Amino acid sequence: MSLRVAVAAPFIQNGTQRLQENEFVVALSLDRDWFSPDQSKRLLDIATQEGLLERVDGGLEVTFDTAEVTVPEEFVPDEDILQERSAFERVLDTLVAEGVEKHEAVGAINTLQQELGLTIEVAAVVYARREGVDVADLLPVARSTLFDDGQAEGR
């Protein structure tokens, strides 16, 4: 996934699991020329929201093993990674990363959504759990859609 690669690049470049926010922004905007400083800050916010980065003691720590990430020499991330992704998209990306075929997952999630009368986000979490894929970090986001859509009223 290009978000994970873009987030990992500054840490790999500096040979560390921890950076200051300004080091992260400089690595993406000046060193690699992938984004403007404002876009780099936006990426930082998205990566934090998605659990790829944590703010710790005034710095940033990557929450995954950057040794498992390869940054191809010709890699340039798409600007679409700067857009917030829904819980459904995040669960689907996790499923695909775990080896589930995308079309199979989407079909099964849609079926669950219709059969159980759930939001797409909740159906995606249910499907992932049935497949043994850990998406516990997305459970609160998916659960909130029950109330946002009025689906949980009267149940």
pLDDT band with cut points at 50, 70 and 90 for residue 152: very low
CATH 2.40.50 fits 1-81, yes or no: no
CB of 46 closer than 8 Å to CB of 38: no
| Token pair recorded at residue 104 | 């199979």
Is residue 149 predicted with pLDDT exceeding 50?
no
CB of 98 closer than 8 Å to CB of 105: no
Q: What is the pLDDT of residue 14?
A: 93
> From CA 57, how far away is CA 19, in angstroms rounded?
11
Considering the chain, what is the average pLDDT of its residues? Answer: 87
Q: Which residues of 60-91 are buried (b: 16+ CB within 10 A; e: fewer)?
A: bebeeebeebebeeeeebeeebbeebebbebb
Q: For 11-62, how does the pLDDT look when each residue is reduced to its tens digit (9 = 90+)?
A: 999 999 999 999 999 999 999 999 999 999 999 998 988 889 999 998 999 9
| Token pair recorded at residue 77 | 């991330």
Is residue 148 predicted with pLDDT exceeding 60?
no
pLDDT band with cut points at 50, 70 and 90 for residue 1: low
Could you tell me the residue ranges of all domains in the chain? 1-81, 87-149
